Structure 1
Amino acid sequence: MINTYLPQIKSGQSNQFFLMAGPCAIEGEDIALRIAEKIVTITNRLNIPYIFKGSYRKANRSRVDSFTGIGDEKALKILEKVGKEFGVPTVTDIHESHEAALAAAYVDVLQIPAFLCRQTELLVAAAETGKVINIKKGQFLSAESMKFAVDKVKESGNEKVFLTDRGNTFGYQDLVVDFRGIPTMRAFNVPTVMDCTHSLQQPNQTSGVTGGKPELIETIAKAAIAVGADGLFIETHPDPANAKSDGANMLHLDHLEGMLTKLVRLREAIL
């Protein structure tokens, strides 16, 4: 299914950005389908290539009592159902090499979390599934250094790779985005994405719950489009305050259409 999108989103070959969006974590079938239906309606109207995003399991949590998932197979089957019901590709993140084949049986794109982008065994295992691989740039790495992550995937026989920027560590409890990284990573001839929500996280809070600045999501998205990002990554939820994961930096689902409409106009203006 993702192959129908690839010709449209190859770096520098599309007149429109693509979107990876959905809830941080798969919380249940009903809410996943509801979110997907809303976003599909919006992206169809705006002619935005769309990939549904949802983590089947959250491995990187601050506290041991944080929500991690509803069960691996149950969540993966929901992702599969979303893809089939709405005819869109799906993406989920993996954390260990043995998860690659498991997740690849249900989704179209495997995502490598930022903290794990240097894990060679994980990148190779993901590449060997033949799926599209989305690698998030580590908060601790320069854009230039992501060339080596791309090389690991391509040298494993897989040319289908994206890169996603999600900001850089700034002190202990904040992130900043260096927008020079977008053209730098696009120069590797791979689609380059801006994660507009995780880049606004405020990690390592004393409460053990990550904070965020969702009021700046549109600002990050506009800047990313202005510097030529091929795609945007946005976590969204109909009730962020009660979301089971990362609610502090998710976009309210009701705000998505208005923001994307502005971004489409911005994209048209800079071409």
Structure 2
Amino acid sequence: MSPSIELCGYKVGPGQKLFVIAGPDSIESEDMALRHAKLLKEMTSRLGVPYAFKCSYDKANRTSGKSFRGPGLKEGLRILDRVKREVGVPILTDVHETSHVGPAAEVVDIIQIPAFLCRQTDLVEAVARTGKGVNLKKGQFVAPKDIVHSARKAVESGNPNVLVTERGATFGYNNLVVDMRGFAQMREAGLVVCFDATHSVQLPSSGDGQTGGERKFVSLLARSAAAAGIDALFTEVHEDPDRALCDGPCSLNPQMFEDVLRQVLAIRRALGHEPA
């Protein structure tokens, strides 16, 4: 596999600028999505890093069937299309079934395969065949050295532009840990690697039908990952995380996110990983 890939017209990999993926977990409203995309585009432009806006139209894997899922496929993609056109920013969203792949590919620039579905061959191959960038979330149950097999499914379907995202490994019940050795192991396998700094602090299903999180550790883990060696950073950002309809305990507000991003960039520059 290639030591670098192309996402949204940017080279991503060792020796390239950090690629940033950020936005709210889910589309809560059209205005909310537009507001966040504009704010995050301005911030990342000011810091000089390539950026894609992320947001989900349907969270099909919530702990409880009563939890907020989003506006759904048709309305959600309409909103993301408007964000893309009006804000002028590339879009990433996730798909949970093969029937959603075609409609999503008509709008978005990067299609994400959720961690729970990273071994679903039909889904991985369908996403790869669109020719869009692929963000393959590493399952919480998958060893770093083993995710290469899922990535190869996409590459062998004709798509070399596969980003693999670490988002923590299951550590007993209701907890995740991040093994920093995994970044080196995945890179040694020829993968281009992203770190999801916010989902990695989840406490899965630890509440009453809800997933909790430890936001206070996001910065620590992001700095550690930057030192270990990553090519991209994935972060969920919400203007008021404590009122977010999904994954609020893990999300950062915009100022927190900017602080974390500045710290990550400073570490990369100190190590010679971030080009001028």
How high is the TM-score relative to the length of structure 1? 0.95
Deviations 1:238-257 (A, max 9, x none): 01111111111111123222
In the alignment, does 2:108 pair up with 1:103? Answer: no
- Kept in 2, the 8 Å contact 1:165–1:195? The answer is yes
From 11, 14, 22, give the equivalent of 1:12. Answer: 14
- Kept in 2, the 8 Å contact 1:109–1:134? The answer is yes
Runs of at least 4 residues off by over 4 Å: none
Q: CA deviation at 1:2?
A: 4.2
Deviations 1:20-66 (A, max 9, x none): 00000011111111111111111111111101000110000111110
Other-structure match for 2:219: 218
Instruction: Return 5+ residue gaps in structure 1 as ranges.
Output: none
Task: Give, in whole Å, the separation in 1 of the partners of 2:268 and 2:88.
Answer: 25
**Count, aligned residues:** 267
Q: CA deviation at 1:82?
A: 1.8
Task: Give, in whole Å, the separation in 2 of the partners of 1:128 and 1:214.
Answer: 36
**61 and 84 in structure 1: CA distance in 2 versus 1, 3 angstrom threshold:** same
Task: Give, in whole Å, the separation in 1 of the partners of 2:259 and 2:204.
Answer: 28
Deviations 1:120-162 (A, max 9, x none): 0100111111111110001011000011011100111111110
In the alignment, does 2:193 pair up with 1:179? Answer: no
Task: Give, in whole Å, the separation in 2 of the partners of 1:18 and 1:3.
Answer: 10
Q: Aligned letter for 1:265? A: A
- Helix, strand or coil at the partner of 1:135: strand
Q: Aligned letter for 1:139? A: Q
Task: Give, in whole Å, the separation in 1 of the partners of 2:135 and 2:8.
Answer: 14
What are the residue-to-residue correspondences of 1:23-42 with 2, within 5 Å?
Answer: 23-42=24-43
Q: Percent identity?
A: 44
- Kept in 2, the 8 Å contact 1:164–1:192? The answer is yes
- Kept in 2, the 8 Å contact 1:23–1:237? The answer is yes
- Helix, strand or coil at the partner of 2:263: helix
Other-structure match for 1:112: 113
- Kept in 2, the 8 Å contact 1:28–1:75? The answer is no
In the alignment, does 2:74 pair up with 1:73? Answer: yes
Deviations 1:183-206 (A, max 9, x none): 211223332100000000001225
- Kept in 1, the 8 Å contact 2:7–2:161? The answer is no
Instruction: Return 5+ residue gaps in structure 2 as ranges.
Output: 1-5
Other-structure match for 1:159: 160
In the alignment, does 2:47 pair up with 1:46? Answer: yes
Moved more, 197-206 or 173-182: 197-206
- Kept in 2, the 8 Å contact 1:2–1:89? The answer is no
- Kept in 2, the 8 Å contact 1:238–1:254? The answer is no
Task: Give, in whole Å, the separation in 2 of the partners of 1:140 and 1:179.
Answer: 16
- Kept in 1, the 8 Å contact 2:19–2:231? The answer is yes
Task: Give, in whole Å, the separation in 2 of the partners of 1:220 and 1:113.
Answer: 21
- Helix, strand or coil at the partner of 1:38: helix
- Kept in 2, the 8 Å contact 1:117–1:123? The answer is yes
Deviations 1:158-187 (A, max 9, x none): 111100000100011100000111121122
- Kept in 1, the 8 Å contact 2:73–2:100? The answer is no
Task: Give, in whole Å, the separation in 1 of the partners of 2:88 and 2:184.
Answer: 31
Moved more, 172-181 or 253-262: 253-262
Superposed CA RMSD: 1.3
